[in-house]
Chain A
Amino acid sequence: MFDLVFEQIPLFFTWQNALYWGRALLTTLSMAAIGCLVGFVVAFMLVFLRTWPLLFLAPLRGLLIAYVEIFRRIPFLVLTFLVLFATRGFGFHLSLFTVACITIVLISTAYIAEIIRAGFEAIHLNQWESATVLNFGRVRTIFYVVAPQSLPYIIPPAFSYFIMFVKETSLTSQIGALELMSAGKYFNSMGISPILAFGTCLLLYFALSYPLTRLGRRLEGYLKQRYKRRSSMSADGGDLGDLHQVKGVA
């Protein structure tokens, strides 16, 4: 049953092949990282505009809400093909890596914008108002008051979406981008048994995603703890906070 697999093992595990897999792994990771980082920045700007309560920005707000709602509901595969054919159709000959990155940016922006908005909403209205009272402008309110406090609400879910996109990039192998999944398909078409080729693929994805999941969980714990310590010091008027500090010293 597994004769073929055992036969091919010395053929398959060579340095050249390992190098090929490693490069594919790096491509997958960099695709997801570029996509999510750009997506995060764009999403932050979108939410910055969306939470700005100015009347003449109302149509823009509607547009942003529509964007988020629509792009969270399009399958990654369909959007990949749409981006590929749209860029080619209009005469931009982008590399397949760029096409994949653009697709990830388009979708991750929508997802992360929703996360950042929820994070901003979790901040108590008092904080916004006190920033206004201190005569903080819009930019300073967001960057000095709201954003730092909302990090524990934003970073962990955003990180889990990053992991989701690491896995989602496997679909870009369908347009021919050279990443981990296409490496598996390449070896399979070279005559390597699918169990070996796709099994290695599975294990490498697992090796990529599992440490990231653990890291995300640790990050969540760290941020929560840090946030808790701060809020316990300020929430009770500083009285109890001082007591903790005294205890800490003693």
Chain B
Amino acid sequence: MDYTFQWGVAFSYVPYLLGGAWITLHLTFVGFVLGLILGLAAAVAQVYGGPVLRRVASAYITFFTNTPSLVTAFFIFYGLPEIGILWSPYVCILVNLALNAGAFLADVFRGGINSVRKTELEAAEVMGFSLLAQVRYVIAPHIAKSLYPPIANLYIIFILGSALASIFGVEELTGRAFNVDAETFRSIEIYTIAAGLYVFMTIAASMFLAALGRYVFRVKTKVF
């Protein structure tokens, strides 16, 4: 019990850490949007695709939902250069994030697509809706309402998961916390501040997503 806290030193690095928080948000946002596209494609392939496409999509989803993203990141970062693909750490993490997010989101999307009742689609067809109009007026509003909360939740989980980018030298929030730790050796203080910033950041993101959901998709989500 002989540890003396020196919060002053640690707090002087908060602006530097906040810069890292911005990189975290930026990284997860781009990765997640790519994951949304990938997930939607995989879900559509799984529901409407032919036998081959369906198998490929299922294999992708089962593989990435059952392996830790750290290990896939290691595989991409260290394994791909072996066969001549050399990416920067940022790109590696982005690809890893998108692949993982895509697999989890595909599961969510598939549930949403299956939740649209057949009678609803038939009714729309009877009313003379074209396929595009069906998607726009029947499927999309229905899906948006049931899918928005899990997707918002996954985004928060992927913000937390992006901490592993620090291991590969991307200087996001955790990576910068490592740097400051190596510089000052105030480990407990720095990691406490980093954890606090993550809590603050995810609460802010949850609130923003809840507001977005309420005004754009008319979904009521709880922040707490």
Contacts and interface: CB of A to CB of B under 8 A. Distances in A.
Interface of chain A, helix or strand or loop or mixed? helix
B71 A201 contact: yes
A198 B69 CA distance: 12
B3 A90 contact: yes
Contacts of B67: 167, 202, 205-206, 209
A212 to B, nearest CB: 9
Nearest to B63: A206
Given A181-B68, A213-B66, A75 B198 contact: yes
Interface of A: 1-2, 4-5, 65, 69-70, 73-79, 81-82, 85-86, 89-91, 167-168, 170-171, 173-174, 181, 184-185, 188, 193-195, 198-199, 201-202, 205-206, 209-210, 213
17 contacts: A1-B84, A4-B82, A74-B195, A75-B160, A76-B163, A78-B198, A81-B187, A82-B192, A89-B187, A90-B3, A91-B3, A181-B68, A181-B74, A194-B78, A195-B83, A198-B78, A202-B75
A168 B70 CA distance: 8
Contact of A199 (B3, B65, B75, B202): B75
Contact of A205 (B2, B66, B167, B174): B66
Interface in B55-78: 62-63, 65-72, 74-75, 78
Interface in B170-224: 174, 177, 187-188, 191-192, 194-195, 198-199, 202-203, 224
B143 to A, nearest CB: 22
Contacts of B83: 1-2, 195
B63 A86 contact: no
A49 B177 CA distance: 36
Given A78-B174, A205-B67, A89 B78 contact: no
Interface of B: 1-3, 62-63, 65-72, 74-75, 78-79, 82-84, 156, 160-164, 166-167, 174, 177, 187-188, 191-192, 194-195, 198-199, 202-203, 224
Contacts of A74: 160, 195, 198-199
B62 A82 contact: no
Nearest to B162: A75
Contacts of B82: 1, 4-5, 193-195
Interface of chain B, helix or strand or loop or mixed? helix
B203 A78 contact: no
Contacts of A91: 1-3
Contact of A194 (B75, B162, B164, B224): B75
Nearest to B81: A194
Contacts of B163: 75-78
Contacts of B164: 77, 171
B79 A195 contact: yes
B14 to A, nearest CB: 15
A86 B1 CA distance: 10
A85 B187 contact: yes
A194 B194 CA distance: 31
B159 to A, nearest CB: 8
B68 A205 contact: yes
Residue with the greatest number of chain B CB neighbours at <10 A, chosen from A1, A4, A82: A82
A170 B68 contact: yes
B209 to A, nearest CB: 14
B160 A76 contact: yes
Given A77-B166, A168-B68, A198 B75 contact: yes
B192 to A, nearest CB: 6
Given A70-B199, A167-B68, A174 B167 contact: yes
Nearest to A205: B67
The list of the 5 closest CB pairs from A to B, nearest first, reads: A75-B163, A194-B78, A85-B187, A167-B68, A170-B68
Contacts of A86: 188
Nearest to B177: A78
A122 to B, nearest CB: 16
A27 to B, nearest CB: 14
A121 B74 CA distance: 41
A70 B78 CA distance: 34
A73 B156 contact: yes
A206 B66 contact: yes
